[in-house]
Amino acid sequence: MNAIERLEEVTKIPEPHEILWFLDGNVVLATDVYLFKVHKGVLSLQSTVFRDMFDLSNAVISTDGGNEIESVQDTYEGVPLVTLVGDDGEDVAHLLRAVYEPRNRTPLDVVVALLLLSAKYDFKGVWANVVVQISRQYPTHLQDYDAVDNDDNPLFDVRRNGCPFTLLCAAFKANADVLLPILYFACSDFGMKSVIFETRENDTPSDCVNTLLEGREELDRALNKFIWGLPELLRAALRGGRNQCNANPPCVEAFPYSYLSDLISSDFNRTRGSFVADAYLGPGCPNCKLLVKNAVETAREEYWEKVPSHFGCPEWHVIERQLDELENS
Ligand SMILES: [Zn+2]
């Protein structure tokens, strides 16, 4: 870049946004690349930060994000001009589009921008909407989670396994506490190399990383306990169903409990009851397989119930109640 280009870069003037430029708008928001001519009433209705700012028309307001909204007496073509310092123009466009067009077609970067900016400017409706949207993709019931827990599934316009670390970081910064336990859990299902890389890449706050690492270690311990308890669990299930066993010799005697160590992996998928029954009781009779599957699922439920506690979060039923409230707000 030569000196003239650099000068042009520095002095680049933001231009009116193609869509978010309402002729009857009564305030212009300025960002690095765009100007938005929008409505004070619409913003005030949804954002307490903007409402307060328009109330105190000369104020300089500091928000939690540390950036300042400077509301000086500038005008743009006769309309008050508010400069949003430090916010990316594209991100603000996502936020304003969510305010004006509440739809659900949302790629990951938009979801993140919506979560962060709606928290920063206290757009309660947008915030609740995006939190609920994310929670639907990361359900708190084990069976629902199993149903969507596939790395290759598409999610927010990328692959599912490309989402959790970005979402965790954004949820943490946006005080979306109801999303934290399930996102901590989803991130714990990755190897340590990915955890280190992804948390760095996303610039994740250290408190969030610490909680993730400590909880991940506790989860590992709980998973080991679960797996080492399997032979006992399976034997008890098979003994209990001895009378219904169709095999000769009966499965309880034939089942070898071999390769159990294969189950010890950070991939939670591989602990499903049907997986365990197929992998470790391959030649067993259908009745015994069903018993084993059910016994494993019951043990998994117990493991699942304790997941939030490993990350210092409230139990699932508390989270679910808070999500219900958000959905109905
Ligand atoms: Zn059997």
Distance from residue 237's CA to the centre of ligand 1 (Å): 10
The percentage of residues in the chain with a pLDDT greater than 90, rounded to a whole number, is 42
pLDDT at residue 146 in the model: 84
Q: Would the pLDDT of 199 be above 90?
A: yes
Distance from residue 225's CA to the centre of ligand 1 (Å): 25
pTM to 2 decimal places: 0.73
Ordered by where they begin, the domains of the chain are 3-112 (3.30.710.10), 140-329 (no CATH)
pLDDT at residue 286 in the model: 84
Q: Would the pLDDT of 104 be above 80?
A: no
Distance from residue 285's CA to the centre of ligand 1 (Å): 4
8 A C-beta contact, residue 69 and residue 47: no
Distance from residue 33's CA to the centre of ligand 1 (Å): 69
Instruction: Dump pLDDT digits (tens) for 144-196.
Output: 888 788 787 778 888 889 999 999 999 999 999 999 999 999 999 999 999 99
Instruction: Dump pLDDT digits (tens) for 218-234.
Output: 998 998 888 888 878 87
The average confidence (pLDDT) of the chain is 84
Distance from residue 249's CA to the centre of ligand 1 (Å): 9
pLDDT at residue 105 in the model: 53
More confident residue, 172 or 257: 172
Residue keyed to tokens 């500091």:
62
8 A C-beta contact, residue 319 and residue 178: yes
Distance from residue 276's CA to the centre of ligand 1 (Å): 15
Paired with 29 in beta bridges are: 36, 82
